Each structure stands twice: as C-alpha cells, then as structure tokens.
Structure 1
Amino acid sequence: MQAKYPKSVRFTEEGFPDFAPYALKTVGISFSGDRKRDVVAANAAAGFKHTPIGYTWHHHQNGRTMQLVPTDLHRAISHTGGHATQKAVESGE
C-alpha cells in the first residue's frame, strides 16, 4: 500500500482519516442516513450514472461531504466516517 499511496493517510486530531489527497471527486450532499441513497446522491452530484469501478464514496465526518476514493485504500484504513457519526447522533449516542 505504501508504494501505491506514498502520501499515506493522515488522521485528524479527532481520529478521522483525511482521504483528500486521494479523492478523485469531492461533492456536497445532504446525508440521508442511508448509505445507498447517499451514494446515488453523490454520483448524481458528480455527474456519474454509477460509482466508477475501483472507487468508493467515503462519508466525510462533517456530515455533508462525500469523497470518491480508491476502494482498496478505503478498505485498508480502519476508521469511523461520517455515516457512523451521523448514525450515532441520530440514536443519541
């Protein structure tokens, strides 16, 4: 992974990953609480019919930004993202 992604993935002081250096696209949407609905909205905002092969939409922790990042990188970085953060807020945790 280090050879493929030499900039590595840094984490914020709050423990969230910063995928910005590897984001193919970054779009703003209103998180719905439903991953599939958010992906559809992100693809529409980016002008895509479907998510490009080899990429995954990452829910940014700010609750309104989606980042299109390489799937292998997203899977390799253990993290809590914006989707989990929103779910916790909605459930009162």
Structure 2
Amino acid sequence: MPVTNARKKGKPLNSPDIDKWKKKGGRVEVLDNGTWRYTDWEGNVVDYVNGYPVFKEPHLRQSVNIGKQKGNHTTDYTNAIRKSELDPPKIDGTTWHHHEDGMTMQEVNSDIHDRFTHRGGVSKTKKVALGRKK
C-alpha cells in the first residue's frame, strides 16, 4: 500500500525520510499487517515491525544473546564478540546492532545498517534503565 501523507504519521521513529528515500530511487510501502517496508535503490529490503528494523540474511551474519544489554556500545560489542560462536567473531564491513529485545546483538552489514536508519535497542535499553516506557 503506498504511503500517503496521512499514513506518514505512523512512520517508524528515525527511519529514512520518505521523500528523500524516493528521490534516491527507493520505495516505501505499508503492508496490510502494519509493517513498513523500505526497499532501497539497489533492491535491498528492510522491514520495520513495531517501529524497529528487522535485519535478515544476506545482511545479517549472526545474532548473539549477550544477556541483558548495558546500552553501552563498547561493553555490549565486547560481550557480543566474546559470546559469538563464529570464527572470526566479527568481520570487517559489519557493525553490531542492538536488537530491541534488550538481549540480542546482531552483526549486520555496515552499509545496510547505516542506510536503513532506525531507532534501536540502545535507546530502548536506556529508557528502561531510566524507568521510562518504550
């Protein structure tokens, strides 16, 4: 379903600007189930479910449960590397993404992670730590 001005109100926080995205040759649609689907100019697709990006293969290398995220990049990245079962535990050209579940770190292609902007688990973890909702 195309995105109209009325539907833009439900746009996921910090997701790419719709008009700029389309000018670059990308597509944005809202599926019947409320999922926002962004397709970039190279054909890469990332869905936003409940406001958060869902990174999948081929852009996702691994998901690592680190227990409770601290919301601190250095600490959480170090824990993800330590708990990774892959060798090497992280490769060049990827970044660690804080999943919104507060426990999972995902190794994602850096270009895709940066291109498909989003609200991530760090903001949610910090809000929970401060006693705020969502």
TM-score (ref. length: structure 1)? 0.84
Report 1:6-85 matches (<5 A): 6-12=43-49, 14-21=50-57, 22-30=59-67, 31-47=69-85, 51-85=90-124
What is the aligned-residue identity percentage? 31
Deviation track 1:49-73 (CA, whole Å, cap 9, x = no partner) reads 7642110010101011111001111
User: In proportion to residue count, which structure has more helix?
Assistant: 1
Q: Which ranges in structure 2 are unaligned for 5 or more consecutive residues?
A: 1-39
State the number of aligned residues: 90
Moved over 3 A (4+): 47-51
Partners of 1:32 and 1:38 within 8 A in 2: yes
| Larger CA Rg, structure 1 vs 2 | 2
The CA deviation at 1:2 is: 3.9
Which amino acid in structure 1 is aligned with residue 64 of structure 2? V
TM-score (ref. length: structure 2)? 0.60
CA-based RMSD: 1.8
Higher RCO structure (Cα 8 Å, ≥6 apart): 1
